[in-house]
Chains A and B, each alone.
Chain A
C-alpha cells in the first residue's frame, strides 16, 4: 500500500524559500502511471493545486505560482520536493503531497500525505 509523507520546516521567514519533501513508501515513484502533486490549503480556505512532476522530471505548475515554484524528483530516494521562493504570509498553509493517477483514475488524486503546516512569519 503506497503511503506519502511530507517533511520540512514548519516555520519560514518572509522573503525566504519554503522547501518540502515528500517520501513515497510502498511503491515506486518511477511508475509511469502517475504524476506526483503538491497541493496546499490556507487556514479556513479551499484546496489549491501547486504543481506536479512525472518521474522523468517533466513538470507542470499552477500559472499563478509558476514564477516562484520548483518541483523536483529524486528517483533514487523515492522522493519529490517542492521549493517556493519569496514567500509571504499568504503562503501560510497546510501543504499536501498526493499521487495523481493518469490512466487508471483519470487524473484523480488517490493517495495523499497527512499534510504539513507551514507558517510564514518573522
Chain B
C-alpha cells in the first residue's frame, strides 16, 4: 500500500517570500514517482513537478523545486518568490511501478494563501 502524508492543512505566506510545502510518503515499491499538483478554486488539477525515485538530482520547474530526500521519504515542494496567483490547494501524490500501484495516491493537501 502507498501512503502520502501532508501535515500542513493551511499556510499563510507573504508575497515574494519562499514557501516550503511538506510531503512524506510510504511505499513498498522500489521504483516510484512523486508528483505535485496545484488545484485552484476552479477545481482543475494542474501538474507542477515530477521526481522519479532513481533521479539523483532534485527536480526543478521554473519557480518550483522538489526537495527529495529518499532516506527520509520526503518530497517537499519549494516555491520561490511566491505570487498572489499561487494561492490554491497543493497536493502531493505518488505512483508505484508495481502492478496495482500504478495509480496516483494523493495526500490530503495544503491550502496555501499568499498575503499581499
Q: Do A and B bind each other?
A: no
Residues in chain A within 8 A of chain B (CB atoms): none
Residues in chain B within 8 A of chain A (CB atoms): none
